[in-house]
Amino acid sequence: MDKKTTSRDGTFLAYHVTGHGPTVILVSGAMSTGGTVLPLAERLARRCTAVVYDRRGRGESGDTAPYAVDREVEDLAALVDAVGGDAALFGVSSGGALVLRAAADGVPATRAAVYEVPYADHLADGAAREAAYKERLAEALAEGRRGDAVELFLRQTGLGEEMIQRARQSPMWAGMETLAPSLAHDDAVMADGLLPGGLLARISVPVLALAGGAGPEWMHRAGQAIAEAVPRGTYRVLPGQTHMVEPDVLGPVLAEFFAG
């Protein structure tokens, strides 16, 4: 991240710009930084001006307590202003939920696209599962058990116990624990984990909701529900893709949506 701007509450935000064309701000999901979506930005840069940033509380950006989702919405508004006042938004996973919230709350976005926002309406026991995760995550973070918080998140995503234990022994684990407090931010962005129909109905810009063809059925239905809930929504499936979508597959689809 080679640039900085300041949000409404004084929190500094680190960001990076690449490419030429219509401007698109990329919003990462849980346990990630702007660097996580940089490969996608580089793919988009062939047709768009792609902006990646570290969300507050991660990477090179600052953080100001107490956290509120409204502050992250203000962060996006500050970034749009910093890059010229005219930008589209793209968010992956819980970052997509933040994009939808920002678009509904009036952040001046020209268009919005999201990939696999994990609204759990169509997942068996989805509401109860989300509530249990929220409670256990809050306890782990309050007690300073960052490793346990990361484990909770990985388990929530469906990662098996053997893979979780391998992750604990890997060199990347320390970095994951550093990001653990930001899990509470994504949890707040996702609210109760269910599709916010009233909020989505307020979005006036075109919205593209994407899902991976190799992903679970409940995720497909979440994407369809987003497209149906917004006034100008489109739903599309990317064949063979999972939640870890390949930039070379996603990039051209987004470029076509944002740049035409």
From first to last of the 260 residues of the chain, give the pLDDT tens digit: 899 999 999 999 999 999 999 999 999 999 999 999 999 999 999 999 999 999 999 999 999 999 999 999 999 999 999 999 999 999 999 999 999 999 999 999 999 999 999 999 998 888 899 999 999 999 999 999 999 999 999 999 888 899 999 999 999 999 999 999 999 999 999 999 999 999 999 999 999 999 999 999 999 999 999 999 999 999 999 999 999 999 999 999 999 999 97
Q: Is residue 66 reached through a cis peptide bond, with omega within 30 degrees of 0 on the bond before it? A: yes
Q: What pLDDT is recorded for position 177?
A: 96
Contact 24, 51 (CB under 8 A): yes
Q: What pLDDT is recorded for position 158?
A: 87
Contact 150, 180 (CB under 8 A): yes
Q: What pLDDT is recorded for position 227?
A: 98
Give the span between the Cα atoms of 191 and 188, in whole angstroms.
5
Contact 150, 176 (CB under 8 A): yes
Identify residue 191 by its one-letter amino acid code. A
Rounded to two decimals, what is the model's pTM?
0.96
Q: What pLDDT is recorded for position 159?
A: 87
Q: How far is CA 129 from CA 25, 57, 121, 157, 184, in A?
A: 31, 26, 11, 11, 16
Q: What pLDDT is recorded for position 244?
A: 94
Q: How do beta strands 207-212 and 87-92 pair?
A: unpaired
Q: What pLDDT is recorded for position 126?
A: 86
Give the span between the Cα atoms of 119 and 204, in whole angstroms.
21
Give the span between the Cα atoms of 120 and 132, in whole angstroms.
13
Q: What pLDDT is recorded for position 74?
A: 98
Classify residue 166 by its DSSP letter. Answer: H
Give the span between the Cα atoms of 150 and 227, in whole angstroms.
31
Return the sign of the alpha-carbon dihedral for residues 33, 65, 194, 202: negative
Task: Give the SS3 label for residue 160.
Answer: coil
